[in-house]
Chains A and B, each alone.
Chain A
Amino acid sequence: MSDISKPQGGAERGPAHRRPIQRREMLRGSLAAGGLLGATACTPAASRFGAFAQGHYRPDLTPLRISADRIMEIKCCLRPFRAMGPRLDAEQIGDTLVVYNYGHGGSGWSLSWGSADIAVEKAMSVLPKEIAVIGCGVIGLTTAIMAQRAGAKVTIYTRDQLPHTRSVRAQGSWTPDSRIALTDPAGPAFGALWERMARTSYYNFRSFLGLADKPVDFGDNYTLSDHPAGPREAETLDPSITANYATTGMPHQSAEFASYMDRIRDITPSREIMPAGSTPFRQPFVARQSHMFFNFTTYGHRMMDMFHAAGGSIVERNFRSPGEFASLPQKVVIVCLGYAARDFLGDRSLIPVRGQTAWLVPQPDMNYGVYYKGFIALSKADGIVIQNVSSPLHEMAGVGDSNEVPIPQETLEGITRLQDVFPPEKTA
């Protein structure tokens, strides 16, 4: 599960560094003016156009309806975290080449295409005509489509299919370095691999932008505060904590987690400080950052359709042991098991990192998010997702916790806090 409160690359930037106004904002401004040709000097829209010309304007946001009675579902994810980064190696089992593609922490959705690209490249090294993919979460399905694009006939073997897999318990934001690795165990070479995966994924996600059903979308995240925020500082290792992954096999502080977003600053929108009074929020200090997110429903349908349209087939199957892979008719197998790999492959390097999201009734026309006092509300087409990221443990929150039972209090606390931003609507 991802966490959009983490700034996605770049330092704080003040108003003097405001980026150029984006095409969509310009379009919305022109539409509000009744179309460029229809605009006249005396309409309210025209006065807004004047503010636009001065370099700032008030975002046209409808309040999010945040209340407990609108909860559709609360669910937990287990981010499949590996200190050294995702497993992407290959091995020969009998006459079968087995390629592994799992362990993406909180970045599975974000890195799905890039990780699939690497796994499929290894799988295609023996020029198979057919490939088996094990698992049908976002990693398995993406890997299967990538293998089809490489020319293979693909069969997915899976116990469950989207949306019945753990993948849909994620939050669904583009957060490609969210608990993806620990800096030291991953080593310096992983940064370049991560960058390749991130850029490949980003490129592929862009091909879903602009579709009517919005499988992938962009929105603005607003970070709200009652106090001026200083520049965010990178976390540094606390020397008083002597235990670490090398000594215990578990991380012990947030600073052990790797951060790679600086590598893709060129494709990452900056975080901007909004001028006082330039937003509808009553909180006085507001920062804004555009970000990409995934709507699980339409994205899942699109992916399944793509897979089937390319001749893919899905077989429901519950494997009991890895040795069964060699019994498949396909002699190249890509294993995309996510957290299930911990038991199935006995991979104790796979560490669960628990997260929880609540999903409120969607407001499909609103595609923005807020972060306030440790809580996130993000309005997507598939629901308004509420997430509590207020733990002082930061990246350590949920590490080693494989409890998949929702804790409603976490959500209710978030709803109460977010109602400071979106007071409940007064009704008759």
Chain B
Amino acid sequence: MSRLALPAALAGALFLTGIAHGEKAAQPATAATASAIPYTAAQATRGKLQFIQHCARCHGGNLDGTTEIPPLRARFIRHWSGGTMDEVVGYISRAMPIDKPGSLDPDANAAIMAYLLQANGFPAGSSDLPSDPVALRRIPLMQLSAAGH
């Protein structure tokens, strides 16, 4: 089940075109949920360096993936939306990089996630994305609308 979130300027002005999987109805999100994912531009920049070093050789410098390696744009956020940030950061931390899973430290994983948020159009804020799973569990991940990018 995926729910969509819209930035404040667009909330209520656009129809929601969810990709619901059935169990729950798509729910409009408030500006607070869309902007509630904290990360900073500086953290994303650090994450980009980590991404280039550890992730880009599979996922591509443009996050486009390949035929068999998933892209990290668009559907990547869709696939993880509707849950909380600890799920996707936890996955990255445990399973990635594929050849050395779990080898990056928590700060690096959080920075990579910040870069992925930035690359997917999420607005930067004034505080870093935390690396602590408990803190991440309190942060919902909602997909931005296409118009929000």
Contact = CB atoms under 8 A, between A and B. Distances in A.
A159 interface: yes
A315 B68 contact: no
Given A329-B22, A343-B95, A405-B57, A318 B80 contact: yes
A159 B94 CA distance: 18
Contacts of B70: 159-160
Contacts of A403: 98-99
Contacts of A163: 67-68
A404 B98 contact: yes
B80 A166 contact: no
A400 to B, nearest CB: 10
Contacts of B94: 343
Contacts of B79: 159, 317-318
A401 B98 CA distance: 10
A164 B68 contact: yes
Would you call the interface of chain A mostly helix, strand, loop, or mixed? loop
B23 interface: yes
A316 interface: yes
B99 A165 contact: no
Contacts, number: 47
Interface string B95-115: 100110100000000000000
Nearest to B76: A318
A320 B21 contact: no
Contacts of A164: 67-68
Nearest to B75: A316
Interface in B14-41: 19, 21-23
B85 to A, nearest CB: 11
Nearest to B94: A343
B90 to A, nearest CB: 9
A343 B22 contact: no
A405 B68 contact: no
A65 interface: no
A73 B75 CA distance: 24
A316 B75 CA distance: 10
Contact of B83 (A320, A343, A404, A405): A320
A131 interface: no
A290 interface: no
Contacts of A343: 91, 94-95, 101
Nearest to A78: B98
A79 interface: no
Contact of A401 (B57, B67, B99): B99
Contacts of B11: none
A165 B21 CA distance: 21
A163 B95 CA distance: 22
B80 A165 contact: no
Nearest to B83: A320
Interface string B59-82: 000000001111000010001100
A169 B67 CA distance: 10
Contacts of A321: 87
Nearest to B91: A343
16 contacts: A73-B67, A160-B70, A165-B68, A168-B67, A169-B68, A315-B21, A318-B79, A320-B83, A321-B87, A343-B94, A402-B98, A403-B98, A404-B69, A404-B98, A404-B99, A405-B99
A165 B58 CA distance: 14
A75 interface: yes
A163 B68 CA distance: 7
A47 interface: no
Q: Which 3 A-B pairs have the closest CB atoms?
A: A318-B79, A403-B99, A343-B95
A320 B67 contact: no
Contacts of A166: 68
A159 B87 CA distance: 16
B43 to A, nearest CB: 24
B122 to A, nearest CB: 18
A402 B83 CA distance: 28
A327 interface: yes
Contacts of A78: 98
Contacts of A404: 58, 69, 98-99
